């Protein structure tokens, strides 16, 4: 089973890239973030024409999440208990016996700001809910754009980013709290090229110079990770014309998950 995550930074702009990637890679599950598309305007038919089921939760201009799946998703939810949030950042569904939770974590704007406090509170509430999901679903995958670089090796310049947004101690502690409920960072289960990132700023030739951060993640329970064959970042789409500033992350799982 191939499971992937990709912040597309506007699905309507990046739809040709997504369709080409689906045709080439043929993932079983693709989680999309920052679709920036109202539900009434979601480009459903092109994705369905490739044989995929699609569920989505969007809003105008900002945010938005979607799941593109080979098997029909079931028990879909877009809002969780204890978190009243009009922003469309959460989409969970059961696909082929696995619970898939797609997250677009708030950016936080600036350390110490109201948006930063909102981010930390959002993460705490979502983690509490996920702990229950973990107990209910031995096969749980939590993936998406977390807007957190978990460690210095996930940042092109750790000194410049020390205690800055995406790399601050409270944000990294929030990421560790997610792992603490019984989730594993799938990319770190495998050897990776040095300076492996998932996001590069459009400015300063960030991608060409590899001035990136690893902020997109696929977390899974041990029951699934025992059958994980690989996990990698596909930088190909980031090098296309008019790309998203993020690259897809792809994990491949065998059939022997316990």
Residues acting as catalytic residues? 104, 145
Q: Strands 29-33, 2-7: parallel, antiparallel or unpaired by DSSP?
A: parallel
Starting at the edge strand that comes first in sequence, how are the strands of the sheet with 90-95 ordered?
A: 74-77, 90-95, 98-104, 140-145, 216-220, 184-185
Q: Is 27 helix (H, G, I), strand (E, B) or coil?
A: coil
- Rounded CA-CA distance 31/65 in Å is 7
Q: Which of 56, 133, 144 is nearest to 99 (CA)?
A: 133
Beta strands in 106-177 (DSSP E): 140-145
Beta strands in the chain (DSSP E): 2-7, 29-33, 53-57, 65-69, 74-77, 90-95, 98-104, 140-145, 184-185, 199-200, 212-213, 216-220, 228-233, 249-253
- Rounded CA-CA distance 252/118 in Å is 33
- Rounded CA-CA distance 217/149 in Å is 9
């Amino acid at each position: 089973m191939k499971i992937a995550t990709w912040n597309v930074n506007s699905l309507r702009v990046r739809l040709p890239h997504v369709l080409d990637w689906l045709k080439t890679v043929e993932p079983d599950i693709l989680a999309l973030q920052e679709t920036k598309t109202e539900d009434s305007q979601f480009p459903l038919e092109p994705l369905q024409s490739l044989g995929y089921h699609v569920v989505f939760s969007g809003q105008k201009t900002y945010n938005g999440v979607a799941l593109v799946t080979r098997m029909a998703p079931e028990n879909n939810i877009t809002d969780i208990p204890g978190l009243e949030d009009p922003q469309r950042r959460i989409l969970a569904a059961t696909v082929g016996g696995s619970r898939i939770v797609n997250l677009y974590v708030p950016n936080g704007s600036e350390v110490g700001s109201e948006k930063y406090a909102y981010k930390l509170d959002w993460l705490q509430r979502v983690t509490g809910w996920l702990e229950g999901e973990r107990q209910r679903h031995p096969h749980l995958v939590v993936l998406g754009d977390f807007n957190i670089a978990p460690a210095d090796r996930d940042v092109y310049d750790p000194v410049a980013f020390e205690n800055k947004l995406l790399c601050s101690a409270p944000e990294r502690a929030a990421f560790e709290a997610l792992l603490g409920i019984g989730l594993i960072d799938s990319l770190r289960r495998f050897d990776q090229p040095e300076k492996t990132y998932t996001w590069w700023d459009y400015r300063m030739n960030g991608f060409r110079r590899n001035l990136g951060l690893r902020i997109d993640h696929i977390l899974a329970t041990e029951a699934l990770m025992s059958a994980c064959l690989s996990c990698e970042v596909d930088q190909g789409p980031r090098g296309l014309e008019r790309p998203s500033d993020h690259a897809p992350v792809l994990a491949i799982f065998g059939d022997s998950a316990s």
